[in-house]
Amino acid sequence: MRKKIVAGNWKMNMTFEEGQTLTSEILNIMKDEHSGDAIAVLNPPLPHIFPVKKLVGEAKGVFIGAQNCSDKEAGAFTGEVSAKILASFGVQYVIIGHSERREYFKESNEMLAAKVKLALANGLIPIFCCGESLEIRTAGTHEPNVKFQLTEGLFDLSPEDFAKIVIAYEPIWAIGTGKTASSEEAQDMHAALRRHVASKYGKDVAGNTSILYGGSCNPKNAQELFSKPDVDGGLIGGASLKSRDFVDIIKSF
């Protein structure tokens, strides 16, 4: 059975004090107001992981994720952090292949496939990102382009390993461009991705795969987006930095 997930990606934001305050506010609001079965995954910058993990403790429905991991197991790779190290700190999820990593750091499908395998080998749940630019969307080649990202990044996995994956669809063309992705456009792409997974792993695996929407989801549009049959939650950027907004998104199911 697929999970309802709202993952907050803090990106490169929050001082130590701000991160502690944000986490405490989220936990307190969720304790008082959230009674649903949707889970929250907090993905802070790396230095926050241990202190945020300590604050979260055994809080129901709240998990810790990292924004990235290395494609190498260990060794002389200054500045990198391995999946094994993340797991040793109690991290449960890791974002892999975010559009910013693909664009700014030129991460290839081959590199991302290696990251996914290392994450799984160390007990982490990958949130695997895929999506298309405005140019690709305008050209009408968005569906095959995004399917190719899944094929190259994930389709070497066994059915058992693939069943642990969470997919996050990012319509890059709808983030900071002035254009808006409708809930119908989100549903169409999510359904296409689920069909693509089914073509490789079968309907049961595809039906149990959580597919999150990562295109400027906020408290105003979350309920409409989450009402779509193939949208299982969101990968939240800016709104995850505001405790009230983030919990309201979680409560939108």
Tens digit of each residue's pLDDT (9 = 90 or more) over 148-164: 999 999 999 999 999 99
Tens digit of each residue's pLDDT (9 = 90 or more) over 185-224: 999 999 999 999 999 999 999 999 999 999 889 999 999 9
The type of residue at 113 is A
Q: How many structural domains does the chain have?
A: 1
Q: Which residues of 124-140 are buried (b: 16+ CB within 10 A; e: fewer)?
A: bbbbbbbbbbeebbeee
CATH number for the domain spanning 101: value is: 3.20.20.70
The percent of residues in the chain predicted with pLDDT above 90, rounded, is: 94
Where residue 173 falls among pLDDT bands split at 50, 70, 90?
confident
Catalytic residue among 132, 170, 190, 196: 170
Q: How far apart are CA 87 and CA 130, in angstroms?
A: 24
Q: Which domain holds residue 18?
A: 5-250
Query: Distances in Å between the alpha carbon of 208 and those of 80, 98, 100, 181?
Result: 32, 22, 27, 25
**190 a catalytic residue:** no
**142 a catalytic residue:** no
Average pLDDT for 129-150: 95
| pLDDT for the residue 103 | 95
pTM of the full structure: 0.97
Catalytic residue among 34, 48, 98, 142: 98
